[in-house]
Structure 1
Amino acid sequence: MNTGVRMGDGARGVGVDALPQGSGSTGAENVSVSQYAPLPSAVSHNRFDTRTPLQQVFYWTPDQWEQFTCEWVRMRRDELGYLGVEIVGGTNDRGADVVAFMSDQRLNGVWHCYQCKHYSADLTLDDTLPEMIKPFVATLETSRTLPTRYTFVAPRIHPRLKDTVLTPAELKKRFLAYMDGRTRPVAALPSATREAVRELAVRTDFSMFWTVNLDEVLEVYSKSQLFASRFNLPPTGEPRKLLPPPVPQGNEARYLQKLLDVYQERFGVDITTVEDAFEHPSSGQHLGRQRVAFFDAESLRMYARESVPGDAYEELQDDVLANLIEVVDMDFPSGWDRLQEVLKASGQLVPTGSPLLTHLVSHFRNSQRKGMCHQLANDDKLTWCKGGCR
């Protein structure tokens, strides 16, 4: 890997006990620095970043670029049939920073190599020719096989380098001419090794060499939840609407039982099943609304899981619980009154925290706030009737 030389160094008929059990809650030759420099309006580190990924990459270390490349390669693991992806970069990596192998033989079988270059200017052919020697030498001096694909990964690739790599015959011609010259990387090779490298190169299909720049990496990387975290950007998209299934699921059992206790206490009748609650003239519509709210909250949970890195949703739940528990602990005439006051209080909360949590709160509608109360009840963190639940 380069060491920074060039880049900045509604359900009925189901009792709660009978619910099915689920699994839980659901370019130019030289690039001016101004193209990388942060915008004057760039925000501080504790807010979302207004700089583009390319501008942020300028300040990365070579190791960060290598780790980023490895993450991208792992995202393509199934697509390309990789059994494993590892970072092997170091002072004696023999031109292999990130390796992806396609058989149990690993570097002795079929494998791909990713060479990471972190430069401030476009990666050029002159930069890559010395590196192209390394896989041939490694094949001659070690038990490694020649990689079937060798990809240079850099923030920017010079157009002439990309054009040359797209014509393997021309790339091979340029490499062989380079091996016939007396540049320092070539002259440093023992004559026998130099000749062996040239002979191996003559027999090699140069379509093994590829180039990838930041824009191409982001085509894949931007679809991952790592994207927002890596570049400190707000997640995109909206939570998908979830409708309550006609038959209550196992992951609703606990909060539904607590609602049945509330209804029985309030209406003084034997309401022991979800069917009883739906058939009662007063509790039926209320129960339907609570299930809708619960699944609205579940949709936000799923959105956070798919779009926001880390535990932002759990952080939000903790913040909400810390406020609502004080309301729950107050004295109320009945569980119904306690439930209504907690639901009311949830709509008045202003959760605070990390930028990602703040972004999540922007999707936190009143129905989802009420639904989170039932999620917390489902986890036995909130209870409405002081005597508890059956």
Structure 2
Amino acid sequence: MSFGENAIKLPPPPEFELTALDVEKGETVHPLDRLQIMSADTWEIFTLEFVSYLDKDYESVTRCAGAGDKGRDVIARHATGWDNYQCKHYKDKLSVANVVGELGKLVYYTWREDYTLPREYRFVSPKGCSSDCIDMLSKKSRIKAEIIKRWDKVCKDKITKTESIPLEGGLLDYINTLDFSFVDEMSSQELIDRHALTPYHTTRFGSYHLKRPQVRKPEPSAVGDNEKIYIDALLDAFSDADGADYSFSSVMDSEYKEDLERARINFFSAESLEIFSRDAFPTGCYESLKGECHEGLHSVVRKKFDDGYQRFLEVSTQSVNIPYDSHPLRHFLQTSDRKGLCHQLVNDLKFKWIKK
């Protein structure tokens, strides 16, 4: 190595399961970047989607956009009032002037009693707020001062097209009574995190960015509560094949040791896929996968076999041939998952390897 050169360590391998998508498509468009290419109308619908699933006490969520919205975009109503999510889709970050312009409408229309003050007022923008705007929103007392200072330039002739609204008299007295602690922004990352909890997320952002965690291996001597049913069914199948009475410990000294070990690995793989699906895909996605698997195996399970072990082998062989071409999880599905689905179906009491 030459003088002044430093060795560079190789980056660690990825801590997720690679899929065909990863190597065929390369690096994907990150959800944060996708926010930037949404149209203004799509942005409001996107906001409506995640607000509808916020863990709050909302009775209804409606879109109030276009002419006559009086400074309200996505309205979430609760028992004692409402929250407002103000969608601003600009080419640049929100400035102090942008925020003041919107809050000027709020001040004017609540002063006129067209509607009440919201419990929360959140600015929702794909590019977020400028540094100065963030500083203002973090120091709530500054919000009122900025509105008053900028009123003539930003609000006076822009609240309505039909009249000029000077900040004087009763309107000035009213704004001086207001506390703007209910006003804030939602960061782009918070928007993504919130939207990820909705069933709309994968349909809007796709699954390319999703990374399935690596599968945890089973403990050789520790059987989980969720393993007892399918393992007992396998032990019955092994016993049925040669007339022995196998237990979990005794089977480890038999020719079926590898069958059981592979079955546990496959089961853990399928369980991992189920958790991944629950976290990243709409509700019911994994159940539909199990339904397709059951349908693909049903006729094979019903066939007559000499013993339960033969049924287990034939069903396992068939399980890897079931096409899942139209299923959302197809890019994440591995051979171990396909076989592990069989054991999950046994756990669900959909079928057994032998009839008792």
| 1:10-159 correspondence runs (5 A) | 50-53=28-31, 56-57=34-35, 60-73=38-51, 77=55, 82-84=56-58, 86-90=60-64, 92-99=68-75, 104-107=79-82, 112-142=83-113, 145-147=116-118, 149-157=120-128, 159=130
Who is 1:174 aligned against?
Answer: 146
2:330 matched to which residue of 1?
358
Residue from 246, 251, 254 that aligns with 1:282: 254
Shift of 1:309: 3.0
Over the aligned positions, Cα root-mean-square deviation in angstroms equals 4.2
Counterpart AA for 1:95: G
SS at match of 1:151: strand
Contact 2:238 2:256 in 1 (8 A): no
Corresponding residue to 1:378 among 341, 347, 356: 347
Shift of 1:89: 3.3
Give the TM-score normalised by the residue count of structure 2. Answer: 0.69
What does residue 19 of structure 1 align with? Answer: none
Partner residue, 1:263: 238
- In structure 2, the residue matched to 1:334 is 307
Q: Report the residue type matching 1:357 in the other structure.
A: L
Per-residue CA distance 1:323-377 (angstroms, 9 max, x = gap):
44454455543332221232234346664234x412321xx243x4332212223
Specify which of 213, 237, 242 is matched with residue 238 of structure 1: 213
SS where residue 213 of structure 2 aligns? coil
Question: Would you say 1:210 and 2:184 are equivalent positions?
Answer: yes
CA contact (8 A) 2:152 2:166 kept: no
Match of 1:317 in 2: 290
SS at match of 2:86: strand
Asked if structure 1 preserves the Cα contact closer than 8 Å seen for 2:141 and 2:180, the reply is yes
Contact 1:70–1:86 (Cα < 8 Å) also in 2: no
For 2:270, the aligned partner's letter is A
Deviations 1:265-299 (A, max 9, x none): 32225x4xxx7564465387355653454343223
AA matched with 1:316? L
Distance 1:373-1:67 versus aligned 2 partners, 3 A rule: same
Q: Which amino acid aligns with 2:234?
A: L
Distance 1:213 1:247, change over 3 A: closer
Using the alignment, how far apart are the partners of 2:87 and 2:41 within structure 1?
Answer: 9
Contact 1:49 1:231 in 2 (8 A): no
Alpha-carbon displacement from aligned partner over 1:170-222 (angstroms, at most 9, x marks no partner)? 54333224444652426846879964332221232344432345345235545
SS at match of 2:46: helix
Decide whether the 8 Å contact of 1:240 with 1:299 is kept in 2.
yes
Instruction: Give distance in 2, aligned partners of 1:374 and 1:66.
Output: 44
Q: Secondary structure at the match of 2:282?
A: coil
Sequence identity percentage = 26
Alpha carbons 2:157, 2:164 under 8 Å: kept = no
Call closer, same or farther: CA 1:194–1:186 in 2, change over 3 Å.
farther
Deviation at residue 131 of structure 1 after TM alignment: 2.1
Q: Where in structure 1 are there 5+ consecutive unaligned residues?
A: 1-42
CA, structure 1 residues 358+85, in 2 after alignment: closer, same or farther (shift >3 Å)?
A: same
The CA distance in 1 between the partners of 2:146 and 2:277, in whole Å, is: 50
Query: 2: distance between equivalents of 1:212 and 1:350?
Result: 42
Contact 1:114 1:151 in 2 (8 A): yes
Higher relative contact order (CA 8 A, sep 6+): 1
